[in-house]
């Protein structure tokens, strides 16, 4: 069995002054123009620039498909188990970004137990500029320990949450794919 994620996130602050922020994409080219300036919304609807999340600190940014996605819900439930003390010791911030209305942040956090930073990109501009795929194709690299439900039960749970929730909507584009970014001053890595 693989070591828990909390044991993989280690280290302390990097000694010395940090380099100026330089965001590059997967091929080493500059990050899509203007991505850092794009707005996100927090749980109260306040605007925050995407680049402000990683300009002066290292961050693991998880862009989820949508808040009704059962795979995303179960993954975020596992992220919620990472103690803040581990992240602080490693000098890393954990951030989740969804693509729904900011009204869905609080219910999603209550559902998953997630207490780290979370924002939304309701227009999916960051997803688009980073070239994140759309579509329902399922690419499997093996069974993820984060996903506990099967396709049928997970889909039914998502549908049930959609129709019984106080704000009936799809909480984002169901075809939008997500991804994980490792960002920080002078760092950009996309998975």
* Residue 189 pLDDT class (50, 70, 90 cuts): very low
> What is the b/e burial string over 8-46, where b = at least 16 CB atoms within 10 angstroms of the residue's CB?
ebeeeeeeeeeeebebeeeeeeebeeebbebebbebeee
- Whole-model pTM over 0.75: no
Q: Which residue has the higher pLDDT, 9 or 42?
A: 42
Residue 45, pLDDT above cutoff 70 = yes
**Average pLDDT for residues 108-136, to the nearest whole number?**
89
């Amino acid at each position: 069995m693989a070591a828990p994620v909390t044991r993989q996130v280690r280290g302390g602050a990097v000694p010395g002054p940090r380099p100026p922020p330089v965001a590059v994409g997967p091929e080493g080219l500059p990050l899509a123009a203007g991505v850092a300036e794009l707005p996100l919304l927090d749980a109260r609807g306040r605007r925050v620039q995407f680049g402000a999340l990683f300009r002066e600190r290292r961050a693991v940014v998880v862009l989820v498909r949508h808040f009704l996605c059962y795979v995303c819900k179960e993954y975020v439930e596992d992220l919620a188990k990472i103690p803040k003390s581990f992240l602080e010791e490693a000098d890393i911030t954990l951030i989740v970004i969804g693509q729904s209305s900011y009204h869905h942040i609080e219910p999603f956090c209550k559902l998953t137990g997630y207490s780290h930073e979370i924002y939304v990109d309701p227009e999916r501009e960051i997803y688009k500029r980073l070239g994140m795929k759309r579509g329902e194709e399922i690419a499997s690299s093996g069974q993820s320990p984060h996903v506990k439900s099967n396709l049928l039960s997970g889909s039914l749970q998502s549908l049930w949450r959609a129709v019984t929730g106080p704000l009936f909507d799809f909480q984002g584009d169901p075809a939008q794919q997500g991804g994980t970014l490792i960002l920080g001053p002078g760092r950009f890595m996309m998975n």
